[in-house]
Chains A and B, each alone.
Chain A
Amino acid sequence: DGGITQSPKYLFRKEGQNVTLSCEQNLNHDAMYWYRQDPGQGLRLIYYSQIVNDFQKGDIAEGYSVSREKKESFPLTVTSAQKNPTAFYLCASIGQSYFYGYTFGSGTRLTVV
């Protein structure tokens, strides 16, 4: 079945560590997105990519980095510069027809320990 796979489901980070969240899709979608979700905050855009080897900052990009070396993959690195990384992270993608909205992954819950 086609879809978006996020891994791991749960991730724990120590202070000062960089961690990478995986996002893989087999939908042949061009555009991919990373959102952060905090209680009462809704979804806030971190980074997005509309084509391989190109990506743009969203509203809250500070302390995060991404790469898009393959169409199927859009990993997100949470760096030590992100002072409050504890949140639920969602990856999404969309194909040529924007009519259908995003397809979301099941999310990664990151906790600082």
Chain B
Amino acid sequence: QKEVEQDPGPLSVPEGAIVSLNCTYSNSAFQYFMWYRQYSRKGPELLMYTYSSGNKEDGRFTAQVDKSSKYISLFIRDSQPSDSATYLCAMRNSGNTPLVFGKGTRLSVIA
């Protein structure tokens, strides 16, 4: 079992839809959870950051962490064509350990 599982998609939705992206993980020591957005042929950029369990909201984006289920989610409300990108979940335990990434989900928002 891989440490982090993420459905690679592709996921195609109409403009204005609510998008749900998810990752599951196996390492119960993970405490820091992140979502990165990557446009084609570019480096990833940090989108959301969450520590431990709970929700975090930033504009149209909401990140949720359920440590009891080892499950994290990213919701995008009122999706726009500019949201079309690959979304990568990433996580790590405490200390200076490197991030472990999911495979990424490719999202297309159709106008």
A-side interface residues toward B, CB under 8 Å? 4, 6, 31, 33, 35, 40-45, 48, 50, 58, 88, 90, 92, 98-107, 109
Contacts and interface: CB of A to CB of B under 8 A. Distances in A.
Interface in B2-55: 6, 8, 32, 34, 36, 41-46, 49, 51
State which size class the interface on B falls in.
20 to 34
Contact of A99 (B6, B49, B88, B99): B49
Nearest to A51: B96
Nearest to A31: B96
A101 B43 contact: no
A43 B88 contact: yes
Q: Which of B6, B99, B104 has the most CB of A within 10 A?
A: B99
A42 B6 CA distance: 9
A106 B102 CA distance: 19
Interface string B98-109: 110111100000
28 contacts: A6-B43, A31-B96, A33-B98, A40-B103, A41-B103, A42-B6, A42-B88, A42-B101, A42-B102, A43-B44, A43-B101, A45-B98, A48-B98, A58-B98, A90-B43, A90-B44, A98-B32, A98-B96, A99-B32, A99-B49, A101-B46, A101-B49, A101-B99, A102-B44, A102-B46, A107-B42, A107-B43, A109-B41
